[in-house]
């Protein structure tokens, strides 16, 4: 499948779960992916999962890896937090997309960053995962849908916002099984 052919993406944060799920879907679709993973164990696991189609580095190595890449930056940036994404915005091509993947991005902060980057044609959106299954997590109350979500489900929503929702910016999409519903 080549849905993301000729797309360069940077995924920072969440390399053990949501970030890895996003990177997998991008690689499967033909994208070139740079994934930042915090621990040596996460880096080894991610490299094994993604194979040769992705480069996995420590967060401290992202700048050097981006500088070594040919081209003028990345098309898509997925980050678990605005403070993590902000220093990387210079590497995001005009017309690209930033998707925040943490359950905590404040809607006002997402809209403010979207307004800041609109002049460059960069869309900024967020997924707000909740009740997502995580290895080693204890029992949690189930959301209205009656089950825990999967990192893969969050990845699909994040990729939708990054690549399909081309007339959407400043949005925060709950991926929480109805937890945020009234």
**Residue 90 φ then ψ, to 5°:** -65, -20
The candidate with the shortest Cα–Cα distance to 18, out of 180, 166, 159, 179, is 159
Rounded Cα gap, residues 90 and 67, in angstroms: 11
Could you tell me the pLDDT band of residue 70, with boundaries at 50, 70 and 90? low
Nearest to 123 by CA among 99, 100, 97: 97
Please check whether residue 27 is in contact with residue 33, taking contact to mean a CB–CB distance below 8 angstroms. Answer: yes
pLDDT above 70 coverage of the chain, percent? 96
Mean pLDDT, range 64-84, rounded to an integer: 89
User: Does position 182 have pLDDT exceeding 60, yes or no?
Assistant: no
pLDDT category at 68 given cuts 50, 70, 90 is confident
Q: Mean pLDDT over residues 45-71, rounded?
A: 90
Q: What is the mean pLDDT of residues 89-115?
A: 94
């Amino acid at each position: 499948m080549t849905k993301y052919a000729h797309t360069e993406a940077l995924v920072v944060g969440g390399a053990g779960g949501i970030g890895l799920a996003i990177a997998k879907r991008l690689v499967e679709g033909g994208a070139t992916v740079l994934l930042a993973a915090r621990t040596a164990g996460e880096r080894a696991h991610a490299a094994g999962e993604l194979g040769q189609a992705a480069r996995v580095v420590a967060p401290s190595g992202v700048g050097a890896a981006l500088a070594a890449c040919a081209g003028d930056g990345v098309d898509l940036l997925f980050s678990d937090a605005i403070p993590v994404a902000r220093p990387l915005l210079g590497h995001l091509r005009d017309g690209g997309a930033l998707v925040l993947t943490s359950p905590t991005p404040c809607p006002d902060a997402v809209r403010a960053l979207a307004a800041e980057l609109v002049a460059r044609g960069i869309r900024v959106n967020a997924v707000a995962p909740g009740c997502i299954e995580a290895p080693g997590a204890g029992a949690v109350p189930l959301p209205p849908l009656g089950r825990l979500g999967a990192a893969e489900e969050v990845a699909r929503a994040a990729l939708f916002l990054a690549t399909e929702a081309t007339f959407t910016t400043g949005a925060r999409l709950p991926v929480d099984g109805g937890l945020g519903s009234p």
